[in-house]
């Protein structure tokens, strides 16, 4: 499942820059490029409420195979039908396709792992997904975005998602065909984790989208700003196992609150670190690890609190909340930067992290959850 998750992240990570760079070559308006970046998340957001029932009827293995097949067909169609309008439609379909292996993968990991090792296992899963996501742009930089090669790399990621699953088909968990709880009802099963997922999506995607812009406004060169974005992603991958290790030894909901407060403190140091180049890299690396930690830790809390028969709908709700934060965060951060160019980004991100910590703490007290 870990290797399959790397393939999912790789296919996902190739799709975004492949589309945005080709749109730039074609002279597409910036709002169209932004729309192309949003439609996969929109597809995931719209379709996840019905996908747990669909995955239950298909079975875990078949659902992953079908979702990855949609990805493969869309990459082939993109190569054969270059153009803004066809690619917008195909990116929506790709979002729908990737949602199935993403949902089933999270449910699979949370179902088969034991509570004592849950944090570390989900950390490995997160490292695989985000590692694949980070590898995609690196491969595109090496091969370019023209010709069949980048599309074949995307297809390769989807194939990599399928092969290990077929080999381990007999280990696949059973998914309920008729979940007792709706996706939106599942939010109440682990509200603190759902808030953590939304906060994670908000903070992660804001940094992935706008950190280079913030650094350039602060006087950092464009090339260095892009390298620091890579540093952020590298931190997000490298520090997850440490967060998972802590999650297996400490109270996970309290750790989620502490994570939000530490994130706020680290982000608040960004202006000072910008003035001291030796500090900037370590601060950004640490920030990346902590930001992705919301994904790891929130998913661990869901496995902690939700019954196995409700995990599919709870994981769908988790992804919906994460995508909601991913759609809201960059818009809010961008608006804050327009109003306050020098410090708007840091103020918005710090304020969001503190508000998230307060909300998670309150939800954790009011909803003690249930042990799975």
pLDDT of residue 40: 87
Residue 304 predicted with pLDDT over 80:
yes
Choices 1.20.1250.20, 1.20.120.1200, 3.40.50.1470, 2.30.110.10: CATH for 2-171:
1.20.1250.20
How far apart are alpha carbons 254 and 115 in whole angstroms?
A: 17
Q: Which CATH superfamily is domain 183-366 in?
A: MFS general substrate transporter like domains (1.20.1250.20)
Query: pLDDT tens digits, residue range 160-202?
Result: 999 999 998 888 888 887 787 888 889 999 999 999 999 999 9
Binned at pLDDT 50, 70 and 90, residue 41 comes out as confident
Q: Average pLDDT for residues 342-349, to the nearest whole number? A: 94
Query: pLDDT band at residue 372, thresholds of 50, 70 and 90?
Result: very low
pLDDT in tens, 321-341: 998 998 888 888 889 988 998
Q: Where do the structural domains in the chain lie, given as residue ranges? A: 2-171, 183-366
Position 3 pLDDT exceeds 80: yes
Q: What is the rounded CA–CA span in Å between residue 344 and residue 365?
A: 32
Element housing 341 (H / E): none
Q: Residue 340: which of 293, 76, 305, 349 has the closest Cα?
A: 349
DSSP 14-45: HHHHHHHHHHHHHT--HHHHHHHHHHHHHHHH
CA–CA separation, 340 vs 260, rounded Å?
A: 23
More confidently predicted of 209 and 317 = 317
Spell 85-96 as b/e; 16+ CB within 10 A means b. Answer: eebbebbbbbbb
Whether 5 has a pLDDT exceeding 50, the answer reads yes
- Across the chain, mean pLDDT equals 90
Instruction: With beta carbons less than 8 A apart as the criterion, state whether 207 and 291 touch.
Output: yes
Give the pLDDT confidence of 205-259 residue by residue, as tens digits: 889 878 888 888 888 988 888 788 889 989 999 999 999 999 999 999 999 999 9
The confidence band for 369, taking pLDDT boundaries of 50, 70 and 90, is very low
Task: Please tell me which residue, 74 or 328, carries the higher pLDDT value.
Answer: 74
Query: Which residue, among 146, 49, 149, has the nearest Cα to 103 in the 3D structure?
Result: 49
So what's the pLDDT on residue 176?
83
Length of the chain (residues): 372
Mean pLDDT of 153-166: 94
**pLDDT class for 293, splitting at 50, 70, 90?**
very high
- Give the pLDDT of residue 58: 93
What is the share, in percent, of the chain residues with pLDDT greater than 90?
A: 59
Mean pLDDT of the 297-317 span: 93
Give the CA-trace dihedral at 260, 263, 268, 273, to 10 degrees. Answer: 170
Same fold, 2-171 and 183-366: yes
In the predicted model, what is the mean pLDDT of residues 49-57? Answer: 91
Q: What is the average pLDDT across 11-23?
A: 85
Cβ neighbours for 42, distance < 8 A, ≥ 6 positions apart: 92, 95, 327
Q: Is the pLDDT of residue 141 over 90?
A: no
Of 15-24, 69-78, 288-297, minimum mean pLDDT range: 15-24
């Amino acid at each position: 499942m870990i290797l399959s998750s790397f393939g999912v992240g790789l296919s996902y990570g190739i799709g975004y820059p492949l589309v945005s760079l080709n749109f730039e070559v074609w002279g597409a308006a910036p709002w169209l490029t932004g729309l192309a970046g949003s439609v996969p998340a929109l597809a995931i957001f719209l379709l996840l409420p019905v996908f747990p029932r669909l995955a239950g009827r298909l079975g875990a293995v078949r659902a992953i195979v079908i979702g990855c097949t949609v990805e493969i067909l869309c990459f082939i169609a993109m190569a054969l039908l270059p153009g803004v309008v066809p690619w917008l439609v195909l990116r929506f379909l790709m979002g729908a396709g990737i949602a199935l292996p993403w949902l089933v993968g999270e449910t699979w990991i949370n179902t088969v792992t034991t509570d004592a090792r849950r944090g570390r296992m989900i950390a490995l899963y997160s490292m695989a997904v985000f590692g694949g996501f980070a590898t995609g742009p690196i491969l595109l930089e090496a091969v370019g975005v023209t010709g069949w090669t980048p599309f074949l790399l995307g297809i390769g990621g989807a194939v990599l998602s399928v092969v290990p699953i077929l080999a381990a088909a007999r280990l696949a968990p059973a998914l309920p065909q008729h979940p007792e709880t709706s996706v939106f009802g599942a939010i109440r099963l682990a509200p603190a984790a759902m808030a953590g997922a939304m906060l994670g999506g908000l903070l992660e995607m804001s940094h992935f989208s706008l950190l280079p812009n913030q650094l350039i406004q602060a006087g950092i060169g464009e090339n260095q700003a892009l390298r620091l974005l890579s540093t952020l992603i590298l931190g997000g991958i490298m520090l997850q196992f440490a967060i998972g290790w802590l999650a297996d030894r400490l109270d996970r909901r309290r750790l989620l609150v502490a994570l939000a407060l530490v994130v706020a403190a680290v982000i608040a140091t960004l202006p000072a670190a910008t003035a001291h180049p030796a500090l900037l890299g370590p601060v950004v690396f640490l920030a990346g690890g902590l930001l992705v930690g919301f994904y790891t830790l929130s998913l661990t809390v869901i496995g902690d609190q939700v019954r196995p028969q409700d995990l599919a709908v709870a994981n769908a709700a988790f992804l919906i909340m994460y995508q909601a934060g991913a759609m809201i965060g960059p818009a809010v951060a961008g608006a804050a930067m327009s109003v306050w160019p020098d410090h708007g980004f840091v103020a918005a991100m710090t304020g969001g992290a503190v508000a998230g910590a307060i909300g998670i703490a309150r939800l954790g007290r009011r909803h003690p959850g249930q042990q799975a």
